[in-house]
Amino acid sequence: MIVADKKPVEEIIGYVRDCKKVLVLSCNECVTVCEAGGKKEAGMLASALRMYFANQGIADAQVDERTLERQCDQEYLEEIRDIADQYDAIVSVACGVGVQFTAEKYHSIPVFPGVNTCFMGVTEHRGLWTERCQGCGQCILAYTGGICPVARCAKRLFNGPCGGSSNGKCEINKDLDCAWQLIIDRLIAIDRLDLYEKLFDIKDWSTDRAGGPRKVEREDVQI
Amino acid sequence: MSVKTPSKMEKIMAAGHLGVTSECGPPRGSDPEVIKEKAELLKGCVDAINVTDNQTSVVRTSSLATCIHLKLMGLEPILQMVTRDRNRIALQSDVLGAASFDIHNILCLSGDHQSFGDHPQGQNVHDLDSMQLAWAVRKMRDEGTFLGGNEIKRPPEMFVGAAANPFADPFEIRVPRLAKKIEAGVEFIQTQCIYNIDKFEEWVRQARDRGLTEKCYIMAGVTPFKSAGMAKYMKNRVPGMDVPDDVVKRMSDTPKGKQSEEGLNICVETIQRLKEVEGVAGFHIMAIEWEEKVSEIVERAGLLPRPEIN
């Protein structure tokens, strides 16, 4: 899933302080799972904004809440077509994808981000989400024991750990696993340490961010 | 091993002599006199001088410009290049720039993570890793082509090196990792500072058993302690460093005024012991901000005079 983290309320207040009518728009997918931008968090943010306006003596300010199943699909975004025009601003607490797609669909209404979108990752346990994938567009996990050096090594090294790997941890942070320690442990566990001995070719980064904004176009599924 | 480049240090080790290198860290400013003073201290006692590339991710005068200063002084530089700050276009461009000044040695590194330096909010590049950089330089030299395939007019003639840490984890791949570097095209290795001599000797033995010391010159890295505090710092704070307790104790048990002398003694003893190890082709003396002691270490270790080779 896409993992996001909360933004400081003060920052969001800064975006909407001059608005009279604000819609806090949450998303029922990834950001709900990582407890950053679901219905519950939208409710808390809306309350904080109402409190701000009340404290400022702005009695006619109105903050509403709405949850969409997804903000990355047109059909769900259409659900607010009839009401969107009433608002001076929308604060989307979906990921950056949702914020942008909402802004694209509602061209004349300011849309502000309500969370910081962080990475594609997993829930290790409630309250701890960690990165797994950077979407480089050319998956190499078959050769690295199912552990990605692009996403999980601080230097995205392809041919083994740097000299800073110590007791299984990365040199930049003692709480961070060394990706290459994990890869080697896993290759040993699946009896494929021979994979390590092969020199990894220089990567074609044109399918990564480096190649510019990307798209996947599939004629076979287009209607 | 046959000589493949005009590098003096390559020729010295190919002739069977123990090679000696040291390093010169460029200044955090643009004063060339700082470079020249440091380099002057190393003249005549080493075969080549590593020039670090923004080490510890702190901005300094560039490695390439500093190498040119050394070259103009008649010294032989080793261009250190990290993959942290440059993509494949810039790396190859700087290799050509160095080659245009007939700089004949390169050390390929990934570089310390930028979070350790003075610009921790910066982006890192890592388009290639250190092995891929070594492979790229060998391709440029041996095939006369860029990574993109186009021909190079007057290809670089560089002796290609890399670093190795015999003490880093995971232990299972310390020697396979060396094998992989050699397969990538690495011709000489400078190791992490050695204090745990037994562990280092075991690493060299395993490398020898795989025939790796026949394919690559292993230069043992040494750094003299200036004080007991430095020994403790290296043990506890520097990632990937293996400083045994008895070495720290030896420094701590020495009275303050004599600690730097004891640090030099340990360094000289290490070199003397490792000189006898089959598969050790030379020494890389990293006297951090203590360049004035390199000539003393080299002399006391019996490595002077340096061989004259054309």
Structural domain boundaries of chain A?
2-119, 137-205
* Confidence class for position B204, pLDDT limits 50, 70, 90: very high
- Nearest CB to A155; choose among B113, B136, B169: B113
CA-based nearest residue in chain B for residue A165? B169
Percent of chain B with pLDDT over 90: 95
Domains of chain B, earliest start first: 8-300 (3.20.20.220)
Give the span between the Cα atoms of B299 and B56, in whole angstroms.
30
3-state secondary structure of B58: coil
- The answer, for B132 touching chain A at a CB cutoff of 8 Å, is yes
Q: Could you tell me which residues come within 8 angstroms of residue B136 by beta carbon, excluding any fewer than 6 positions away?
A: A202, B88, B91, B92, B128, B147
Percent of chain A with pLDDT over 70: 100
Give the span between the Cα atoms of B5 and A205, in whole angstroms.
32
- The answer, for B135 touching chain A at a CB cutoff of 8 Å, is yes
Whole-number pLDDT of residue A223: 85
Tell me the two tokens of residue B205. 């033995």
**First vs last Cα of chain A: how many Å apart?**
27
Q: Please say whether the beta carbons of B169 and A167 come within 8 A.
A: yes
Q: Please say whether the beta carbons of A38 and A28 come within 8 A.
A: yes
B173, B192, B193, B241: which to substitute to probe chain A, counting the most A Cβ within 10 Å? B173
Write out pLDDT tens, residues B50-83.
Answer: 999 999 999 999 999 999 999 999 999 999 999 9
Give the span between the Cα atoms of B159 and B71, in whole angstroms.
16
ipTM of the prediction: 0.94
Percent of chain A with pLDDT over 90: 96
Mean pLDDT, residues A136-159:
97
Q: With beta carbons under 8 A apart, name residues in chain A contacting B136.
A: 202
- In CATH, what number does A2-119 get? 3.40.50.2300
User: Closest approach of chain B CAs to the CA of A175, in angstroms?
Assistant: 14
